[in-house]
A and B are shown apart, each in its own frame.
Chain A
Amino acid sequence: MTVALEIDGLAKVYGTLRAVNDFSLRVERGTIFGLLGPNGAGKTTLIRMLTTLIRPSAGSARIEGHSVLTSARTVRSLIGVVPQENNLDRYLTCRENLVLHARMYGMAPTEYNRRIDELLELIGLTGRQHDFPDTFSGGMQRRLVVARALVHTPRVLFLDEPTTGLDPQSRRAVWDYVQSLTPQMTIFLTTHYMDEADALCDRIVIMDHGRALVDGTAAELKERLAHAHMYELEFRSDGERYEKILRELPFVRNLQRTGNSFRLALEGEEFLKPLMDRIGGDDIRKICLKEPSLEDVFIELTGREVRE
């Protein structure tokens, strides 16, 4: 495989906290790579090291063969970055935001004007190019931030939670747009939307506590839980009482409750009978075996507790 991004033993330490811990990875050129993890897993720290914003405490990383440590400027000329926040310049118009970015890359006006026209057309903002970003919806601002990262036609595009806070239509628009960029571009995406990773990524790594936990395609990751026997259970009433009962059962894992409905994993098929014996059949409205989702894999690996 032709490698766009190589990471070897990358680490970032803040005092006693190891934000990223001995992280290694290879990403194939022209693919969409997804990095998943709960808040505080180390995703953004990893992106900040790869985009040369912070120096790693240990290890190395190369983008298109250039070290982020010794060739930071070359790396920056090859990458585009879409940060978590819409850090647009609110005192510049939509077009001026793109022009400023192009000037920072030393592009000539004839070159950048043509490219900006193309991008504005692509993101549907040609008619609003002379308006200020403050007058845009969240989705329009997000599209503009993505377009800004593409003005200089980067070879690797980093997207840090690109659709956070967007409505479903805007999310779909960003997805379509991101997909249209491959295979000319390699895309490195972080997200905690499982459906987003499932829909977009050719390959996914789930990380937590600064380390990679699993690596594979969405299908491969789900296959890991195929043995896990995911069930959906719905009761007519008494959801609270049944939650208490289910939590006490040692062979029930990953219990999730919505009203009187539950999703749970059994440690093995043989535990179905003990489960039914314990809860009885009187109140059950529905019980069915469920295909594991990427979210199930995520919860299985990273736990249910809410992170700060």
Chain B
Amino acid sequence: MFRGAIAIFWRDLLVLRRSLFSELLAVIAYPLTLYLAFGIGLRGYIADVDGVPYALFIAPGLISMTAVSAAFNDSAWSVWFHRRVQRTIEEYRVTPITVYDIVIGKIFSGFAQGTLKGLAVAFVIFILTPFRFPPAHLLAYLFFIFLGSMVFSCVGTICGTMIDKPENIGRVEAVVIVPLIFMSGIFFPLSSYPKAAFAAISILPTTAIFEGARQALLNGKLAPLSIIILLVTAVIAFAAATLTFNRKMSE
């Protein structure tokens, strides 16, 4: 069972291992720049958010953002590349593995990449900045990263399956993924939103990821609403990814 998924996961980790250093270097640069620009640059203007120093407030969100963006990108581009360019998906499909194996393998690869890259950013922020957190909170935080990466990996798989032109993957990222991430309270507290918008923003899965992860890392709290939203979203996203992939393959 799942031997196909394990084989695909093995393949993706093998490829990642070859380019690990350059991948991590590239992925660290963007959130670190944001951290330095906002966390240090705005330090003089924003003292703290709800009693938390601003640099400390944005750090968990930046780490989570790196993880989920990496999960989305890896899944979307990997599925698209294997389907449209290398056509290796066709090779997978003439072996006795199932479509579920392919989707699960790709989702786990996306999740693994997301988690690894998130941890790399966390490590660099930890080394270069005064950002500190109680180590006991790390497990709860990783739980949110796990679910968040899973959701974004599923969404990436759907995009890589449905979208044929590569530039459209970039457009989805610019129009859907980035706004969803930035609207979910990475750089400012959700209380800044008008009341009407607050209700809608609060139930976004991205809010559940970033807000839930921040609460977990800084306060050690597992927000039940965030967990429920994320679990439901993960199940729906997984079902949608499998269904979409299955339908595309039978065309």
Contacts and interface: CB of A to CB of B under 8 A. Distances in A.
Interface in B54-101: 86-88, 90-98
B11 interface: yes
A19 interface: no
B88 A105 contact: no
Nearest to B249: A53
A88 B95 CA distance: 14
Interface stretch (B2-10, B133-141, B203-211): B2-10
Contact of B11 (A74, A90, A100): A100
A87 B87 CA distance: 5
B248 to A, nearest CB: 12
A77 B87 contact: no
Interface in A131-148: 148
A96 B15 CA distance: 10
A129 interface: no
Given A76-B94, A89-B11, A92-B14, A54 B250 contact: yes
A87 B96 contact: no
A73 B88 contact: no
A85 B83 CA distance: 13
A85 B95 contact: no
Nearest to B15: A91
Interface string B172-190: 0000000000000000000
Contacts of A76: 94-96
User: Which of B86, B92, B93: most chain A CB closer than 10 A?
Assistant: B86
A264 interface: no
Contacts of A104: 3-4, 7, 92, 95-97
B11 A101 contact: no
B3 A87 contact: no
Given A53-B90, A89-B86, A73 B7 contact: no
- Give the size category of B's interface with A: 20 to 34
Given A103-B3, A104-B3, A104-B4, A87 B94 contact: no
Interface in A87-125: 87-92, 96, 100-101, 103-106
B7 A103 contact: yes
Interface residues of A, number: 27
A103 B92 contact: no
Contacts of B93: 52-53
Interface string A55-93: 100000000000000000110110101010101111110
Contacts of A51: 94
Nearest to B10: A103
B32 to A, nearest CB: 27
Nearest to B95: A104
A92 B11 contact: yes
A91 B7 CA distance: 15
A51 B90 CA distance: 11
Contact of A73 (B86, B87, B91, B96): B96
B14 A85 contact: no
Contacts of B95: 76, 101, 104-105
A79 B88 contact: no
A91 B14 CA distance: 9
A148 to B, nearest CB: 8
17 contacts: A52-B93, A52-B94, A53-B90, A54-B250, A74-B96, A76-B94, A77-B96, A79-B94, A81-B94, A85-B87, A91-B18, A96-B11, A100-B7, A100-B11, A104-B92, A104-B96, A104-B97
Interface of B: 3-4, 6-7, 10-11, 14-15, 18, 86-88, 90-98, 250
Interface of A: 51-55, 73-74, 76-77, 79, 81, 83, 85, 87-92, 96, 100-101, 103-106, 148
A-B CB proximity, top 8 nearest: A103-B7, A87-B87, A104-B95, A81-B94, A77-B96, A76-B96, A91-B15, A73-B96
